[in-house]
Structure 1
Amino acid sequence: MDQPETGGGADAPAAEAFIFVVDGETLAFQSLFLAMSLAQAHRGAAHLRAIAYVSARTVPMLDETVRLVYEAAGVTIAPLPPPGSHWARPYPHGNKILACAAPRDVARTTFLDTDMVVTGRIGGLAPPGDTAVLAVPEGIPSWRGEGRWERAYAHIGQDLPAERVTLVRGRRLRHLPYFNAGFISFPEQPLPGAEGRFGRLWLDMASDFDRNCMVGGKRPWLDQITLPLTLYRHGLAWRALPDIYNYSLSYRDRVLRREGKAKVLHYHRLHFLRGRPVLADLTERLHEALPPRLHAPLDTALALMAGASEAA
């Protein structure tokens, strides 16, 4: 099995949380696949918790279908903290940072983008007491430009770091630490010398960078820019995971052998799951969780979602 790239003990509670964000009707229906796949992959693991952070505007959209699937999958609903004055202008991608910053009584949290399905166990990714932040490098250097990273690190009073990661798509370039923010595993205890929990440190860093660093192209990359900045500003341990923990399906013309090893499929839009056995399997599991009268409405909603994603 692939192992993480680089690295960072103390006793800690055993519980772990998987969290995701639901903001809008599309994400509510996407989350059904994620919720059910988490439950399937971690059947019998009572110490693992799944939490959906739902925005205030979306609560009325959580119809009977969504609530019954969440109940069957053991998902708890929690309010998504409002953005308040954190962002210089609206930034929906920042919802994941708000969810990560919310308090939880667990040892470790793993955030997943809602457009993911889990195909293998991801609980216990780090040993008890491990304080490292874990994430998969981005596929390509999506935030770039002359001097941008130099200005970003100057904002936290540092030179560019010496460490490099291998980006996971295309030419697989060696690059400054830069991660896809769709899958992040982090400790919940306040970290030594960091004066707080990782999620809150990331939120403070992203808010400050958004308002006070004069550099271009922050949207939509603000989360991915400020993730490594948070790590280096506070001297946090990190490890780069292989892409089987955040395996992108978009624009892959065929199923590659490596896809069979993936534990987390990041499908982006539902039509990229078509033809893959996991889609049929999860749809069957959703039917099992629902009374027959809700099967047809669910299938109609999923078909409309897949068609809309293909047209996008």
Structure 2
Amino acid sequence: MAQPTEAGTGFNIVVVGQGGRLQYEALIFAASLRAMSPGFTGRLLVAEPQPGALWRNDPRIAGEETHARLAELDAEIVPFASHHFGQPYPYGNKIEALLALPEGEPFVFFDTDTLVTGELTDVPFDFDRPSASLRRSGTWPEPDLYGPGYTAIWKSLYDKFGLDFEGSLDLSQPDEYWKRYLYFNAGFFFYRCPRVFGERFLEYALAIRDDPPPELVCQSLDPWLDQVALPLVIHALGGGRDTLPVGLLDGAVTCHYRTLPLLYARESDRVIAVLEEVTSPNKIKKVLKEYDAIKRMIYQGRGQKVRALFDQDNLPRREQAIRNAIKRNGFWMR
């Protein structure tokens, strides 16, 4: 049974941890949180999917050492069942995990491939006005040349759920330009209650997956389903794109690096210094070296070789160009 958040701590932090890469990323996240945000005295919850019909293999965190290191960092494992997504759509973990979290307690969700680089308690979260990461590109939708366009696609979703489409628009952006429409990366999001957020998130995601509007007929929902539903949830709960000051999350306080090669290629010297500092203790290093990409990138110097390929003050504008350069040199790992 989950215990209430201590008075004065303000909020919980949650990541999803499961066997494989995510359990090691969760350990790095926890180490960075404890090192860089000593003011955070809330609970760090690692939501763990449990075996079931929707998983081919056991998705739980493997290995006593990983569990021991997480426990030493005061991370609490919170099991949850996969009723709707599981192996066919693992991004749905972040939706179903919310339903197992302490009801009525404010939360901030982070993807595990996030590094804490500053004091999280300095971020002025307004938990009554949810938001999510704006470090994104126009990945969805991909309108067909002959239509429907951005407006028709997004409006069909707002209409499906009885939401105010016009109120979601950024009118400073041109019509039919992707930034005009509410769109987030799901790398972080927050709200005053995980159950309320999770129930709405699940409702919208399942309705979009199982009964999409006709305007979505040519649009892929894998892997984008969570990012399609997320802005609708945030808008429905009274949030938006402007409820956090710019430059803190995905800036001075956190870094959503996504993969270690991309981190070394394009992030700041400070981010790399934090990564290498928090992964240096021997007990943590022993566990992290079990994962080949982490061992090679951090401990065997491949990350620094990736960094040497690029001028960090003059990076290619498109992420794909960065990925291609890393791959051409034989350094790509995931």
Asked whether the equivalents of residues 35 and 75 of structure 1 are also in contact (C-alpha less than 8 Å), the reply is: yes
Partner of 1:274: helix, strand, or coil? Answer: helix
Where does the alignment leave 5 or more consecutive residues of structure 2 unmatched? 1-6, 51-57, 144-148, 303-329
Q: CA deviation at 1:187?
A: 0.8
**Contact kept in structure 1, 2:32 and 2:274, CA below 8 Å:** no
Instruction: After TM superposition, give the deviation of residue 92 of structure 1 in Å.
Output: 1.1
Q: Secondary structure at the match of 1:117?
A: strand
Number of residue-to-residue matches in the alignment? 271
Q: 1: distance between equivalents of 2:247 and 2:294?
A: 26
Instruction: Give the Cα separation in 1 of the matches to 2:30 and 2:332.
Output: 23
- Cα distance, 1:152 vs. partner? 1.4
What is the CA–CA distance in structure 2 between the aligned matches of 1:80 and 1:34, rounded to whole Å? 20
More strand by share: 1
1:8 aligns to what? none
**8 Å Cα contact 1:209/1:226 also seen in 2:** yes
Partner of 1:42: 37
1:135 aligns with 2:132: yes
The secondary structure found in structure 2 opposite 1:77 is strand
Which aligned pairs between 1:95-174 and structure 2 lie closer than 5 A? 95-105=93-103, 107-123=105-121, 125-126=123-124, 130-144=127-141, 145=143, 146=149, 147-158=152-163, 160-165=165-170, 174=179
TM alignment of 1:254-293, pairs within 5 A: 262-274=252-264, 276-288=269-281, 290=283
Per the alignment, do residues 173 and 231 of structure 1 end up closer, same or farther by CA in structure 2, a change over 3 Å counting? closer
**1:78 offset after TM fit, Å?**
1.2
Q: Is the 8 A contact 1:132 1:237 kept in 2?
A: yes
> Which residue matches 2:232?
229
Give yes or no for the alignment of 1:52 onto 2:46.
Answer: yes
**C-alpha deviation, 1:205, in angstroms:** 1.5
Counterpart in 2 of 1:209? 208
Query: Aligned in 2, Cα 1:73/1:220: closer, same or farther, shift over 3 Å?
Result: same
Q: 1:17 is matched with which residue: 12, 25, 32?
A: 12
Identity score, percent? 25
Within 2, Cα distance between the matches of 1:160 and 1:115? 32
Seen in structure 2, the aligned counterparts of structure 1 residues 277 and 109 have a Cα distance that, compared at 3 Å, is same
Higher mean alpha-carbon deviation, 175-184 vs 267-276, is at 267-276
- CA shift, 1:89, in A, is 8.8
* Partner Cα separation in structure 1 for residue 124 and residue 11 of structure 2: 10
* Post-superposition offset of 1:303: 2.1
Shift of 1:181: 0.7
Residue 201 of structure 2 contacts residue 230 of structure 2 at CA under 8 Å; is this kept in 1? yes
Aligned partner of 2:184 in structure 1 is 179
SS at match of 1:268: coil
**What TM-score, normalized to structure 2?**
0.69
Q: 1:20·1:52 contact (CA, 8 Å) conserved in 2?
A: yes
Extract unaligned runs of 5+ from structure 1. 1-11, 190-195, 248-260
Separation in 2, partners of 1:230, 1:291: 37
The worse-fitting range, judged by mean Cα deviation, of 275-284 and 96-105 is 275-284
User: For residues 244-277 of structure 1, what are the alpha-carbon distances to aligned partners after superposition, in whole Å with 9 as ceiling and x for unaligned?
Assistant: 3453xxxxxxxxxxxxx52111111112233744
Report the CA distance between 1:20 and its aligned residue.
Answer: 0.6
Aligned CA distance change for structure 1 residues 161 and 244 (closer, same or farther; 3 Å): same
Q: Is the 8 A contact 2:9 2:40 kept in 1?
A: no
The higher-RCO structure (CA 8 Å, 6+ apart) is: 1
Q: Secondary structure at the match of 2:94?
A: helix
Within the alignment, does 1:303 sit opposite 2:295 as a pair?
yes
One-letter amino acid of the structure 2 residue matched with residue 273 of structure 1: L
Q: Which amino acid aligns with 1:237?
A: G
Q: Are the aligned partners of 1:179 and 1:224 in contact in 2 as well (CA < 8 Å)?
A: yes
Q: CA RMSD in A?
A: 3.4
